[in-house]
Chain A
């Protein structure tokens, strides 16, 4: 029951974050949505995810506030306002209707299939020696996923460093020409 209440709160927060005119306010509202998601993870019996989501959410908030600080924009409604809104809403509603029909194929909420997870539950402790099954999966059974995750992190850090660099390296004669 508490999951439904938190989800409805997240939906209201998401609408507020999308539609709010002030940029910093919408960034802070999306932070509130992420913290609600952390509580939902805790209620759904995923404590590792709750901790990670909390840390990641705070980092995201800091990065986004750094981007929006002192850079507010007046909201402009010029252009094809009606056409753009209609196309976006029609696309989202079509997606929702198709998704509603697809959801009937899923197993009911609270009764997962657990075909693969049965092996992990049976053999997790004896094969890896880790009491926490999530840790045993990400660090032992599916360690290649974690390797790929580390690769993506490294690539993202290199990309941020390349993008945020102030200016490129210059040749010696070029610098002399600038001083003159």
Chain B
């Protein structure tokens, strides 16, 4: 149970970064950390004591494998995370070119 709570602390740190920081790059870093925590939580929920990786081999013992379903879902989630990060960073670079700053409180000219 302690390990789930450590994972939750990691998510809370990312949440604090998203809520508190004013630099866009720091906000992106907070989003990345929260994403790591969620991926880790899925894999932790599927871990099995003394299990082995879900790959068949000739000397197999099928009752002793870890859960492959969260791993498949997290594999999808990691790749989507990369795409989302690339899109956010692209928007951030564009904002820097237009306003000359990464500070979210100074981006107040929301004209076309």
The chain A residues found within 8 Å of chain B, CB to CB, are 3-4, 7-8, 10-11, 14-15, 17-18, 23, 26-27, 30, 33-34, 37, 40-41, 44-49, 52-53, 56, 59-60, 63-64, 66-68, 71, 73, 76, 79, 84-85, 87-89, 91-93, 95-96, 99-100, 103-104, 106, 108-112, 114, 116-117, 120-122, 124-125, 131-134, 137-138, 142, 145-146, 149, 152-153, 155-157, 159-160, 163-164
Q: Is B19 a contact partner of A88 (Cβ separation < 8 A)?
A: yes
In the docked arrangement, what's the CA distance between A76 and B22, Å? Answer: 9
Q: Is A14 a contact partner of B68 (Cβ separation < 8 A)?
A: no
Considering only residues 43-62 of chain B, those with a C-beta below 8 Å from chain A are: 43-49, 51-57, 62
Q: Is A120 a contact partner of B16 (Cβ separation < 8 A)?
A: no
The answer to whether residues A133 and B83 also contact, given A15-B13, A26-B26, A95-B12 and a CB cut-off of 8 A, is no
Residues of chain A contacted by B30 (CB below 8 angstroms): 18
Number of interface residues of B (CB under 8 A): 78
Q: Is B94 a contact partner of A163 (Cβ separation < 8 A)?
A: yes
Ranked 6 nearest A-B pairs via Cβ = A156-B83, A110-B49, A133-B54, A88-B20, A137-B72, A133-B68
Q: Is B29 a contact partner of A112 (Cβ separation < 8 A)?
A: no
Q: Is A73 a contact partner of B101 (Cβ separation < 8 A)?
A: yes
Q: In the complex, what's the smallest C-beta–C-beta distance from A40 to chain B, in angstroms?
A: 6
Which of A14, A23, A96, A104 touches B8 (beta carbons < 8 Å)? A96
B107 beta carbon closer than 8 Å to chain A = no
The answer to whether residues A79 and B29 also contact, given A23-B23, A37-B39 and a CB cut-off of 8 A, is no
Query: What would 14 A/B residue contacts be, using CB atoms closer than 8 Å?
Result: A7-B10, A11-B10, A23-B26, A45-B51, A64-B89, A67-B25, A100-B8, A103-B5, A109-B44, A117-B69, A133-B55, A134-B71, A138-B72, A149-B80
Knowing that A45-B66, A124-B68, A137-B69 touch, tell me 13 more A-B residue pairs with CB under 8 angstroms.
Answer: A4-B6, A33-B33, A44-B44, A45-B47, A63-B85, A110-B49, A117-B67, A120-B68, A120-B69, A132-B54, A133-B56, A133-B65, A142-B72
Residues of chain B contacted by A93 (CB below 8 angstroms): 12
Q: Is B6 a contact partner of A11 (Cβ separation < 8 A)?
A: yes
The winner among A44, A52, A120, A122 for most chain B CB atoms within 10 A is A44
Q: In the complex, which residue of chain B has the Cβ closest to the Cβ of A108?
A: B1
In the docked arrangement, what's the CA distance between A109 and B92, Å? Answer: 39
Residues of chain B contacted by A33 (CB below 8 angstroms): 33, 36
The chain B residues found within 8 Å of chain A, CB to CB, are 1-10, 12-17, 19-23, 25-26, 28-30, 32-33, 36, 39-40, 43-49, 51-57, 62, 65-69, 71-76, 78-87, 89-94, 96, 101-103, 105
Residues of chain B contacted by A131 (CB below 8 angstroms): 55-57
